[in-house]
Amino acid sequence: MVHVGIGYDVHQLVAGRKLVLGGVEIPHPKGLDGHSDADALMHAICDAILGALGEEDIGHFFPNTDPRWKGVPSRVFLAEASRQVLQRSGRIVNVDATVIAQAPKIYPHIAGMKKAIADALGLQERQIGIKATTNELMGFIGREEGIAAIAVASVDLPF
């Protein structure tokens, strides 16, 4: 039976941090603020997979109050989400995600993101869809104060 989960994440852009999205470092004067590498795309995908399993969100598995996760690359979180699927004898069918950012341009980095995400999840790149859009200069995203990501994951489970 195929189960579907939705994930959403948003982080504030701040000076003095590297910008990492989808496991790819993107040249930009600001990076995303957070306890780990603050990769909003990977975090949204992780929540989508966990949601398809009926589990709690990424913060339950990797609380930002735990110093073990300080600065950790988010591929670690995706690998755990994949492990949770395998532990239930399931398989991830596909992941589809959208990054919402006014700047920088995301499109030139999508191929690298797909590879990094597929590698972290043990999937083929063709099982990963990534799109990007702006917020048409509206709101905190339009003012380049933050970046958001939304993701959907389908997981085939034996129950």
pLDDT tens digits along 29-54? 999 999 999 999 999 999 999 999 99
Q: How many CB atoms lie within 10 A of CB 24?
A: 20
pTM of the model: 0.96
CATH code at 66?
A: 3.30.1330.50
Number of structural domains, the chain?
A: 1
Cα–Cα–Cα angle for 112, 11, 69, rounded to 5 degrees: 80
Confidence (pLDDT) at 54: 96
145 within 8 A of 13, measured Cβ to Cβ: yes
pLDDT over 90 (residue 71)? no
- Domain range spanning residue 135? 2-156
Please count the residues of the chain: 159
**Residue 12, Cβ density class (10 Å: 0-12 exposed, 13-18 middle, ≥19 buried):** middle
